[in-house]
Amino acid sequence: MNKSIQPVISVIVPTRDRQALFNKAVQSVFHQTYSNIELIVVDDHSTAPPVIEDAPEHVEVKYHRNNKASGGAISRNTGVRLSQGEFICFLDDDDYYHENKLQTLFEQLCADSSLSAVFGRIVKLSEPARTMDKKYLDEQGIIKTPEAIRYLHTNSSLIRRHVFEEIRFDETLHKFQDTQLHIELICNKKCKYVYEDVAYWNDKHGLAQITDMKTQESHLRSLVNFKKMIKNLAKRRRVSRRYHLVFYIKYLVMLRDYKRQFGNLTGIAVSNLDFIFYQAVRLASFLLGKRL
């Protein structure tokens, strides 16, 4: 398809102090088979600005530097605000796209104007066989339940701009903002999943990642942000009561696992109601003899 008649797809890449990985990420954007691309690089206050190498003529590149380190949610929302594309997607600076990612997902959105977003398969380098369980999809590949989010990734979607602008990333979250976005998309919009590789999750590079769960501090950050996400979704009435309960139980299981690993709940603000239900989860785990 000629670039002049293709709609613009905006790719938002937040980055901070990871030049080598960043370069591989942006090169995967430059080598897409889809040709009308706008790349928005949001520098989250790096020590030295990232170098963008070998940008092809068919990709318009925009660069923005945050005044201070602001995190993923603010950086991504900023990138969308600076973009012009009819379609929006995201790429973490330590990951990279399959060359057909944009074309594959764009064709799906073109084929069905009622779709708000399309997800493809994310290839996790440490777990390459991992793929979406079909029980979460209908016969046409429409995602039926937010429980499917375990198979989704920020890098593996293409979203209509007007849909993203209705939701956006929750800027109060320092973690789980991608989970929040995906939950709101699935619960309120029509989203499809296709069994085609579209992006690669590079979790084997050895550098720090926000998803790391190696310390008590990282576990604590996860608990605090997961609970905040649940509360914020409820305030905005973005999920049904059923799924609010599902995610609340997930939070209680996270509490139980934290207690098992670290021996206490120090540093966690646990309400009386949380504590009662937390004890119920522990009792159920004991009686059932398995992890919930």
| pLDDT tens for each residue of 224-258 | 999 999 999 999 888 888 888 888 888 888 888 88
Read off the pLDDT of each residue in 81-102 and give the average, rounded to a whole number.
98
Neighbouring-strand partners of residue 9? 37, 87
Residue at a domain's end among 166, 201, 236: 201
Q: Pick the residue with more confidence: 289 or 233?
A: 233
Say if residue 178's pLDDT is above 60: yes
pLDDT score of 292: 44
Residues 205 and 21 sit within 8 Å (Cβ to Cβ) = yes
Supply the CATH number for residue 164's domain. 3.90.550.10
C-alpha–C-alpha distance, residues 221 and 129, integer Å: 29
Looking at the fold, whether 183 and 245 belong to one and the same domain comes out as no
Model confidence at 273, pLDDT cuts 50, 70, 90, reads low
Question: Is 208 inside a domain boundary?
Answer: no
Question: Is 209 inside a domain boundary?
Answer: no
Residue bearing tokens 């602001």: 70
Residue bearing tokens 């009819």: 86
Residues 87 and 9 sit within 8 Å (Cβ to Cβ) = yes
Give the other-Cβ count within 10 Å of 204's Cβ.
9
Question: Is 189 inside a domain boundary?
Answer: yes
Residue bearing tokens 């990985």: 21
Residue bearing tokens 């979203």: 159
Model confidence at 278, pLDDT cuts 50, 70, 90, reads low
Looking at the fold, whether 124 and 172 belong to one and the same domain comes out as yes
Q: What percent of the chain has pLDDT over 70?
A: 87
- 241-262 and 177-188 helices cross at what angle (nearest 10)? 160
Give the other-Cβ count within 10 Å of 61's Cβ.
15
Q: Which domain holds residue 83?
A: 3-201
What length is written for the chain?
292
| pLDDT tens for each residue of 110-162 | 999 999 999 999 999 988 888 999 999 999 999 999 999 999 999 999 999 99
Task: Provide the whole-model pTM.
Answer: 0.89
C-alpha–C-alpha distance, residues 123 and 208, integer Å: 19
Looking at the fold, whether 107 and 231 belong to one and the same domain comes out as no
Looking at the fold, whether 274 and 148 belong to one and the same domain comes out as no
Q: Pick the residue with more confidence: 3 or 197?
A: 197
pLDDT score of 291: 47
Looking at the fold, whether 171 and 249 belong to one and the same domain comes out as no
Read off the pLDDT of each residue in 274-290 and give the average, rounded to a whole number.
58
pLDDT score of 282: 58
Amino acid at 205: H
Q: How many domains does the chain have?
A: 2
